[in-house]
Chain A
């Protein structure tokens, strides 16, 4: 006994027609989301449907072929639903009683023309009601630019902090920012939006011995770039990817306490600099540091005291 026969118990004189439509449905393609719920239901499922007044098969297989996970929790059937996607848990509040006569004169059930499904489809509302805050299934990909500030944390840079803040503000205007401070140790900030960047955290001034570990910082830079460059991160409503990196170095380009050797540090930096869409700049405090910066391989080198 087919499911349509069950539904059409109240209908008179249409049983023969329903049996013809049933065959056509079974031949039609069923969406995979229906899962194991086939239209050609077994007798076993039908028996449990008959006993369950709510129409839901307690065994989990819906005889009507509806995926229970696809049921609208609010009880309103979305627009465009196929005849198999009927909410059996709750009555469609906007559904038209098939036995109700349309005061205008036409039977809404008969006016719906969908080929093989004609006159047997419950009426759905014209307005699709979506749940609040839907989580999109396919999130858009947003590409962003990351600016890495590689700044020397010594007395020389602390004394000109105001000038450095102006340079950074004029150079970095959008995208993401990350600060790597190097002195007697390396401190790396989180990657944040430029709008939420706090200038006061740029330099700490706690490097009393004025030791500098530049090559360690270059190694840390390479690790950061390998972790972030062209890597997609899943966010709540979108996917984020850094496709462009600008490295801005500030200081004297000296080193006196790195664990990593000079060759390893420079090689790490050159591995970063050679990647596409990665630009590097170095603002030297004085012209004496120009040769050091060129040895490392920064693309654009200039002095802070000059127009750059």
Chain B
């Protein structure tokens, strides 16, 4: 189940929803485009389409290699359109490929979340208590595309992996950082709907208080109601 909504800030500025979410059988993925990049919505959608065509895309052990492979292919394809490396970095990579990557895999015994950048993990424990785990790096979060640029920040940054045992956690959802108003408690009554995947209620709740959601919000979980 994927829920995505354009942020009020992007709506007023005439920008597209730069988030993108994709659901497969055993994997869901959320990509949050950088607001400062001109066309990060192009990068998120292009990356998701190419990634889904990778062999064993839903294999958690091969996930990081698959991500690197897609980025290598994209940059290799575009090199001939940009004469210098500097042009390639400034004109293509910085404008299109700056987005955070959050993926959640479901196995028989556990949920595995892999993150590169900021975002939220929403959990429901065995006693039905909902938790919002926040990953925040301030104004300049790490992006995987920085590995292909001449930038010192986050050069050695790697994917973070978190494992949630199904005995302790009933459900897991992943979300971009636009979900902050819900996590802070400014929008009530949506906690259980998010983990249950109740698309209609969550979308209505976001749209009813659209001005509270300044940034694009995308939520992904397994299953859900339509």
Contacts and interface: CB of A to CB of B under 8 A. Distances in A.
A270 interface: yes
A301 B134 contact: yes
Given A279-B185, A300-B183, A300-B184, A294 B131 contact: yes
Dominant SS among interface residues on chain B: strand
User: Is the interface on chain A under 10, 10 to 19, 20 to 34, or 35 or more residues?
Assistant: 20 to 34
Interface stretch (B11-19, B70-78, B161-169, B200-208): B161-169
Interface string A268-289: 0110011000010000000100
Nearest to A306: B136
B130 A299 contact: yes
Interface stretch (B1-9, B53-61, B121-129, B213-221): B121-129
B183 A296 contact: no
Interface string B146-190: 000000000000001011100011000000000000011100000
Contacts of A291: 162-164
A290 B125 CA distance: 13
A267 interface: yes
A270 B129 contact: yes
B138 interface: yes
A299 B138 contact: no
Contacts of A266: 125-127
B24 interface: no
A100 B136 CA distance: 88
Nearest to A263: B126
A240 to B, nearest CB: 25
Contact of A294 (B125, B128, B138, B185): B125
A308 B123 CA distance: 18
Contact of A301 (B132, B160, B164): B132
A306 B169 CA distance: 25
A297 B136 contact: no
A295 B169 contact: yes
A294 B169 contact: yes
B78 to A, nearest CB: 34
Given A291-B164, A294-B169, A295-B168, A300 B132 contact: yes
A149 interface: no
B125 A297 contact: yes
Nearest to A300: B132
Given A290-B162, A291-B164, A267 B127 contact: yes
Contacts of B183: 300
A301 B133 contact: yes
A290 B113 CA distance: 12
Nearest to A292: B168
Contact of A295 (B125, B134, B138, B160): B125
23 contacts: A266-B126, A266-B127, A270-B128, A270-B129, A274-B128, A279-B185, A287-B135, A291-B162, A295-B168, A297-B125, A297-B129, A297-B130, A298-B131, A299-B129, A299-B130, A300-B131, A300-B132, A300-B183, A301-B133, A301-B134, A302-B133, A306-B135, A308-B136
Interface of A: 266-267, 269-270, 273-274, 279, 287, 290-291, 293-302, 306-308
Q: 3 tightest CB-CB pairs across the interface, nearest first?
A: A297-B129, A270-B127, A294-B131
Given A270-B129, A279-B185, A302-B134, 7 more contacts: A291-B163, A295-B169, A296-B129, A300-B132, A301-B131, A301-B132, A301-B134
